[in-house]
Amino acid sequence: MKNLIQLSFIGALTLFSAVQAAEIDKVTVTPDKKEMAAQHRYPMRQDEFYKFKRTYELSNGMTLSLFNQGSLMYAKLNDQQSERIIANSGSAFSSTKSALKMHIDVMENGEVSGEVFIPVTSVATNNSEGRMAIISAIQ
């Protein structure tokens, strides 16, 4: 009886140690921005991108310009430096450098609607936040 209790105790202790060791060995790997972007890439052709190439007036007073250089697509907010973008779907784009994202719907009659997520970085806290702007007009 004493041996049975000891064996049960040793077995439980071994099982507990194995479970605890398995939890310690768990590692979460987060892909970087380029890897994440590559996973969500939509292969947009130049003729598909053509309807998005223009300057949009945003509800916050800023402008967003979309253009291409060869097969590469770019976005530019106001007079800031242009950022390379990739298509995530037939109407959504994101920057390869920052958290800039946009969704643009171009209707057959030429009307445009959509939204733009503009990243805002706080230098003091080194946190990245953002704000949304709505496309309100085409220039």
Express each pLDDT in 79-97 by its tens digit: 899 999 999 999 999 999 8
Give the range of the structural domain holding residue 91, as residue numbers without chain letter. 33-138
pLDDT at residue 126, rounded to an integer? 45
pTM over cut 0.85: no
In a domain? residue 4: no
Of the CA atoms within 13 Å of residue 113, those in its CB half-sphere come to 3
Q: Residue 130 — very low, low, confident or very high, per pLDDT cuts 50/70/90? A: low
pLDDT at residue 21, rounded to an integer? 47
Closest CA to 100 of 135, 76, 72: 76
Q: What angle do CA 28, 30, 21 make, to 5 degrees?
A: 10
**Over 50: is that where the pLDDT of 22 sits?**
no
In a domain? residue 1: no
Q: Which one has a higher pLDDT value, 126 or 67?
A: 67
Summarize the confidence of residues 37-65 as an average pLDDT.
88
**Over 80: is that where the pLDDT of 135 sits?**
no
In a domain? residue 3: no
**Over 60: is that where the pLDDT of 9 sits?**
no
In a domain? residue 9: no
Q: What angle do CA 122, 27, 20 make, to 5 degrees?
A: 125
Q: Which one has a higher pLDDT value, 138 or 50?
A: 50
In a domain? residue 10: no
Q: Residue 110 — very low, low, confident or very high, per pLDDT cuts 50/70/90? A: confident
Number of domains in the chain: 1
